[in-house]
Amino acid sequence: MARDIQLILNNKTTSFAFKKISRSDLYGSKKRIVLDSNNSPCVRTQIDEDTGEILPAGSYKSFYIDQEFNYIDKVNLEVSDEDGNPLEKFESTLGNPQVLDKIEIQDFLNMEILSMYHLTSEDVDPELNQLLTNGEFMKFSFNYYADFNLETGVLIKQNDNIFALIGNICQPDWVSETTAPPDSEDLSIIDEDSLDFQMF
């Protein structure tokens, strides 16, 4: 089965090839390197804190174990949310047609965006093309790999290029006068190594 993004609008399917466009593809990037006294690159590795032994790459494996230290195969694991509700595993959507639907700007803005793809197709459904040209944002379900979180993709047309922004829709609440301030949080989740951002 083709590993493309297939999208359906009013029973008409368009197949898109896709290519990820990362931030470093646009602006470059920076990479921190560690050099020894001879200016040669150092090797990052792990050391066992109990024994002091070096753990080279490939010298250990991660497993799931039960409370009696029995090995549990990954395929036999049961997965649930924090409240104990069993979670459904979603198959990859690549090669599986997904229905397009409009998305409101506010929902789009409230997404945490994980990646951007440039989509190309030799035969875009004219109705879809017209909607995108008119400035509509169209959403669809997306899953690169089979897992327990179905992501959302949003189509945007910019000049002649169609992009898909992939992420998760968040649902912020209204803040009233009696709303309590949020708990403390760690900001490291929004950090990454990068060049200064020049787009203005």
Q: Which of residues 144-173 bind other proteins (CB under 8 A)?
A: 148-149, 156, 158, 161, 163, 165, 167-170, 172
- Of positions 3, 12, 20, 59, contacts other proteins by CB under 8 A: 59
Using CB under 8 A, pick the residue from 53, 91, 101, 127 that binds other proteins: 53
Q: Are residues 14 and 6 in contact, defined by beta-carbon separation less than 8 angstroms?
A: yes
Q: Is 20 in the site for other proteins (CB under 8 A)?
A: no
CA distance 195 to 193: 7
Binding to other proteins in span 97-136, by CB under 8 A: 105-106, 108-114, 116, 118, 135
DSSP label of 74: G
How far apart (Å, rounded) are the C-alpha atoms in residues 73 and 87? 18
Q: Which of 1, 122, 134, 197 forms a contact with other proteins (CB under 8 A)?
A: 197
Nearer to other proteins (CB atom), residue 10 or residue 183:
183
Residues 130 and 102: their CA atoms lie apart, in Å, by 13
CB of 93 to other proteins, least distance (A): 17
Q: Which pair of structure tokens corresponds to residue 44?
A: 């990052």
Q: Could you tell me the sign of the dihedral formed by the alpha carbons of 57, 60, 61, 67, in that order?
A: negative
Smallest distance, Å, CB 117 to other proteins?
A: 11
